[in-house]
Structure 1
Amino acid sequence: MADPLPTSLPQDTAPPPPGIGQLFLGFLSVAVVAFGGVLPIARRALVERHRWLTPDEFTELVGLAQFLPGPNIVNLSVIVGARFRGIPGALAAFLGLTAVPAVGVVLAGMVFSRYGDVTAVADMLAGLAAAAAGLVLAMAARMAEPLWRRPQAHAILIALLAFVGIVATPVSLPVLMLTLGPVSILLAWWAQRGRP
């Protein structure tokens, strides 16, 4: 008697690459639920729910998205869409991510221009800013996880230099990125060459 077929795939089996419609709906779902901080929601969707990326791949792609000009999450959507389905995938992911927020921003701008001087509205915006800051800190901790899991001296050094450069120096972010980007690539290459 033949063994019955397994009812589910093993946990480490990667799902097939997403289609154009899946990219649109995946990023649309991120946009619809992400208020104040999109990267934590995007990480949960791309890494944990859909399993399109590993945690390390997500961190690497966010680093690339931050290095490029423009909003990080928009850059990330284009990179992920292009990775799986080329230009059509990039467009689908971009539209999925930006369609709902664009309408929301227009409506919020109309409401704020009319009621922005009301104290309750100002207090609400202050509360939203605090929540967004908390989401960014949580995301930073999740993205730093590979540094603590597999510590590499050059990666920790670059992370510390970036933190100090942003917090304690008057150096602009583009100059810092253009300086640390090539340095981090060279250090990673040098560390890789030293391995047997």
Structure 2
Amino acid sequence: MHSPKYDSPRHASPEHDQTLQVSGSSANLTGEKPVPNRVIGLSELFRGFATIGLLGFGGVAAAAHHVIVERYQWLTDKEYATVLGIGQVLPGANTVNAAVMIGDRYQGVKGSVVCVLGIMLLPIIILVGLATLYNQFAQIPAVNDALTGAAAAAAGLVIGTGLKMARRLKPGLVAGLIILLVLAGVAGMHWPMIQVIPVLVPLALLLTFAWDKK
């Protein structure tokens, strides 16, 4: 899998221990504020994605945006939306796909491996332990109530993150139409994503191309 191309260079020179120096001119094609001038190393990538994995209760979308855009500033809001969108239409979990692309951007193949390990390793260890406990206590009503509350909180975090991104990105008419169509199909009609994506992705590309030609 190849990561999307940005204005900043992918790989650094050997004297920087194969880390990437993000240039001040990397304020990119989106017109947004550039990410800070600093070296993005393997240890930082691992810490960031390990944090995402640990905070991602019920889904990592909210935690991923906080860590990638707000805390470490690896990507701008528009770059994050692009990476997440590409990850969504590819097979597999979208945040794992995003981890591969972000890791490749800053550290090549090694970065991709480190990011995926960071986001997967600790949650898997915790999941094995919790699964063992759940099998023993699943019949207790309080346990089921707690899981229901956690799921509701996770849904609220995802919705809140989506609204925050929408305010910052200020989607245009075409993007707004696609958002409404996705909500209508998935939330309203309960269509599976595997049916919605093959239809709406080409439609979104065609509408965007036609709108930009005006």
Report the Cα offset of residue 99 of structure 1.
0.6
Q: How high is the TM-score relative to the length of structure 1?
A: 0.84
Q: 1:170 to 1:133 in 2, by over 3 A?
A: closer
Counterpart in the other structure of 1:135: 157
Structure 2: distance between partners of 1:67 and 1:124: 32
- 2:139 paired with 1:120: no
Equivalent of 1:38 in 60, 84, 94: 60
What are the superposed Cα offsets for residues 50-86 of structure 1, whole Å, 9 maximum, x if unpaired?
1110011111111111112222222221121122222
Q: Is the 8 A contact 1:15 1:52 kept in 2?
A: no
Matched, 1:179 2:199: yes
Q: Over alpha carbons, which structure has the higher Rg?
A: 1
1:170 and 1:180 map into 2 onto residues whose CA distance is 15
Q: Amino acid of the residue matched to residue 21 of structure 1?
A: S
Cα deviation, residue 40, structure 1 = 1.1
Q: Tell me: CA distance 1:17–1:157, structure 2 relative to 1, closer, same or farther (3 Å).
A: farther
2:209 partner amino acid: W
8 A Cα contact 1:62 1:76, kept in partner: yes
- Residues 1:152 and 2:172 are matched in the alignment: yes
User: Greater CA deviation, 46-55 or 74-83?
Assistant: 74-83
2:185 corresponds to which of 142, 146, 165: 165
Alignment of 1:3-152 (within 5 A): 14-16=36-38, 18-146=40-168, 149=170, 151-152=171-172
* Residue pair 1:17, 1:84 contacting (<8 A) in 2 also: no
Show CA shifts across 1:84-131 (max 9, x none).
Answer: 222211110000111100001100110001111112211111111111
Looking at structure 2, the residues matched to 18 and 138 of structure 1 have their Cα atoms a distance apart, in angstroms, of 28
Unaligned residue ranges in structure 1 (runs of 5+): 1-8
User: Moved runs in structure 1, 4+ residues, more than 6 A?
Assistant: none
Number of aligned positions between the proteins: 183
Relative CO higher for 1 or 2, CA cutoff 8 Å, sep ≥ 6? 1
Q: Return the letter of the residue paired with 1:172.
A: P
Q: Which residue of 1 aligns with 2:15?
A: none
Give the equivalent residue in structure 1 for 2:21. none
The percent identity for this pair of structures is: 33
Aligned counterparts of 2:144 and 2:109: Cα–Cα separation in 1: 41
> C-alpha separation between the residues in 2 aligned to 1:101 and 1:64?
24
Q: Normalised by the size of structure 2, how large is the TM-score?
A: 0.78
- Aligned to 1:123, the other structure's residue is in SS state helix
Name the SS of the counterpart of 1:144 in structure 2: helix
Name stretches of at least 5 consecutive residues in structure 2 with no aligned partner: 1-23, 25-32
Shift of 1:177: 0.5
Q: In structure 2, how many angstroms separate the alpha carbons of the residues matched to 1:45 and 1:170?
A: 30
Match of 2:212 in 1: 192
1:34/1:173 Cα in 2 relative to 1: closer, same or farther (>3 Å)?
closer
